């Protein structure tokens, strides 16, 4: 036995089957933990995201001479202060707009019923009373009013549920505490995980981890800035054109823009529907449409190129699929983990694609035959 060979390594090294089994076991344990503890993982996943987001500024403070513990306390308190100020400033405005909505629900109901009755009357004039009778007109008008009332009740439940979620003890207390401990020990955790990497492939793992970190940090920080700017724009612009719920609709459209196209489409449909019910003429509806057209131009040609650019290698379709798949599989925790997992899968797929393109499986040329081979493969169908 070689004197320099570690004890226990005298035999053969790890086989391919053992490496695949280890990787499959890690993935299986991760999925099992999500299934078993998904209901209690939300504050911990949120805390990990906060620690990941705050690690660069905390590291800068540490390099300036501040102890890591103090830097973690400063960053967490700064984030809590920003969130509390944001909530205190917007809470009265949102409550006022919700009050306006509930006060005008009967007015909106009457307007929608009148619009539905007018459209049915036009159909009756064109198609005749045999096809469109009076009972159908009454039915459509009543159902239209019921739809408006249902939407208003659903909005009340969503808003109430959202603020109730903010008041949940685990999110208010546990998340900042866990975020502080993770942020304080972040570098130590990364070093310990690095020490667990298999020595033979440690360099490969580090390279792929750096690539995931580059893509994920660019997407996360850029997307947060984009959502914030779009929320400010839509809320201010819709309020400026006089839409009653412009603040809520604009903020929702901006914050949902992290899902490509979902935020703008949802905001446009909601804003145009409210504009139809509120404004007596088409002018207000057109102004609302112009707000979203300008918003899409700003998003596509100014905001996203400025904050994201070409640093993010996550295609919009891949992000949409990941978010919906994560939500369907693991609920809200799956939505939070969707983009990081999508970034990891994307990096691994590109890594293995490069390995394949450099391998004999791709580069091997066909054997030279005695007969002349056709220049290209053609498939001819018999006549």
Examine the pLDDT at 370 and tell me if it is beyond 70.
Answer: no
Predicted pLDDT at 57: 93
- Is residue 108 situated within a structural domain? no
Kindly state the average pLDDT of the residues 344-360: 87
Residue 237 lies in a domain: yes
Q: Is the CB of residue 289 less than 8 Å from the CB of residue 272?
A: yes
Supply the pLDDT for residue 156.
53
pLDDT band at residue 145 using 50, 70 and 90 as cut-offs: low
Judge whether 56 lies within some domain. no
CA dihedral sign, ordered 33, 35, 38, 39: negative
pLDDT at 280 (0 to 100): 72
If you average pLDDT over residues 281-303, what whole number do you get? 86
Count of structural domains, the chain? 1
Inform me whether the pLDDT recorded for 85 exceeds 70.
yes
pTM above 0.95, yes or no: no
What's the domain range around 291?
201-312
Three-state DSSP class for residue 153: helix
Query: What is the pLDDT at residue 168?
Result: 55
Report helix angle 202-240 to 262-278, nearest 10.
10
User: What pLDDT is attached to residue 186?
Assistant: 92
- Predicted pLDDT of residue 311: 59
Q: What pLDDT is stored for residue 9 in this prediction?
A: 46
pLDDT band at residue 127 under the 50/70/90 scheme: low
Tokens of 328: 């369907």
> pLDDT tens for residues 189-237?
999 988 888 888 888 889 988 988 888 888 887 888 888 899 999 999 9
The confidence score (pLDDT) of residue 1 equals: 44
Residue 368 has pLDDT above 70, yes or no: no
Asked, for residue 249, whether it belongs to a domain, the answer is yes
Q: Please give the average per-residue pLDDT across 300-318, as a whole number.
A: 72
Cα torsion angle, 66, 67, 73, 79, sign: positive
Give one DSSP letter per residue of 113-150, joined into a string.
HHHHHHHHHHHHHHH-TTTS-HHHHHHHHHHHHHHHHH
Predicted local distance difference test score (pLDDT) of residue 147: 55
Alpha helices in the chain (DSSP H): 16-37, 42-63, 68-127, 134-166, 169, 175-184, 186-196, 202-240, 246-255, 262-278, 282-298, 304-307, 316-357, 360-363
Which is higher by pLDDT, 154 or 332? 332
How does pLDDT run across 96-109, given as a tens digit for each residue? 777 777 777 677 66
* In a domain? residue 225: yes
Task: Kindly state whether residue 71 falls inside one of the protein's structural domains.
Answer: no
Averaged pLDDT, 245-256: 87
Q: What is the mean pLDDT of residues 325-330?
A: 84
- Examine residue 296 and state whether it is found in any structural domain, yes or no: yes
Query: Does 274 map to a domain?
Result: yes
CB 239 within 8 A of CB 246: yes
Q: What is the mean pLDDT of the chain?
A: 77
């Amino acid at each position: 036995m070689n004197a320099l060979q570690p004890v226990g390594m005298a035999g053969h090294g790890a086989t391919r089957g053992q490496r695949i089994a280890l990787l499959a076991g890690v993935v299986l344990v991760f999925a099992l933990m999500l299934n078993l503890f998904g209901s209690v993982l939300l504050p911990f996943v949120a805390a990990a995201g906060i620690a990941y987001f705050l690690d660069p500024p905390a590291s800068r403070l540490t390099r300036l001479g501040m102890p890591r513990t103090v830097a973690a306390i400063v960053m967490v308190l700064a984030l809590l202060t920003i969130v509390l100020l944001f909530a205190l400033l917007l809470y009265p405005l949102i409550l006022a707009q919700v009050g306006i909505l509930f006060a005008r629900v009967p007015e909106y109901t009457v307007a929608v019923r009148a619009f539905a009755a007018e459209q049915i009357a036009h159909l009756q004039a064109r198609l005749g009373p045999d096809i469109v009778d009076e009972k159908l007109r009454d039915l459509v008008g009543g159902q239209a009013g019921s739809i408006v009332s249902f939407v208003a009740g659903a909005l009340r439940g969503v808003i109430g549920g959202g603020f109730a979620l903010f008041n949940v003890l685990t999110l208010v207390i546990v998340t900042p505490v866990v975020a502080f401990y993770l942020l304080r020990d972040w570098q130590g955790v990364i070093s310990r995980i690095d020490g667990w990497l298999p020595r033979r492939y440690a360099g490969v793992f580090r390279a792929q981890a750096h690539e995931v970190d580059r893509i994920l940090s660019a997407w996360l920080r850029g997307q947060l800035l984009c959502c914030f700017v779009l929320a400010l724009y839509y809320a201010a612009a819709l309020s400026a054109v006089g839409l009653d719920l412009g603040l809520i609709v604009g903020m929702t459209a901006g914050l949902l823009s992290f899902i490509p196209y979902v935020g703008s489409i949802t905001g446009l449909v909601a804003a145009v529907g409210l504009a139809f019910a509120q404004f007596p003429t088409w002018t207000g509806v057109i102004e609302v449409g112009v707000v979203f057209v300008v918003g899409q131009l700003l998003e596509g040609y100014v905001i996203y190129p400025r904050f994201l650019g070409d640093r993010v290698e996550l295609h919009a379709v891949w992000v949409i699929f990941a978010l919906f798949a994560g939500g369907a599989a693991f609920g809200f925790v799956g939505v939070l983990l969707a983009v990081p997992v999508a970034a990891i899968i994307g990096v691994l797929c590109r890594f293995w694609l490069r390995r394949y393109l450099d391998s004999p499986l791709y580069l091997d040329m066909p054997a030279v035959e005695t007969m002349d081979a056709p220049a290209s493969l053609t498939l001819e169908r018999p006549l």
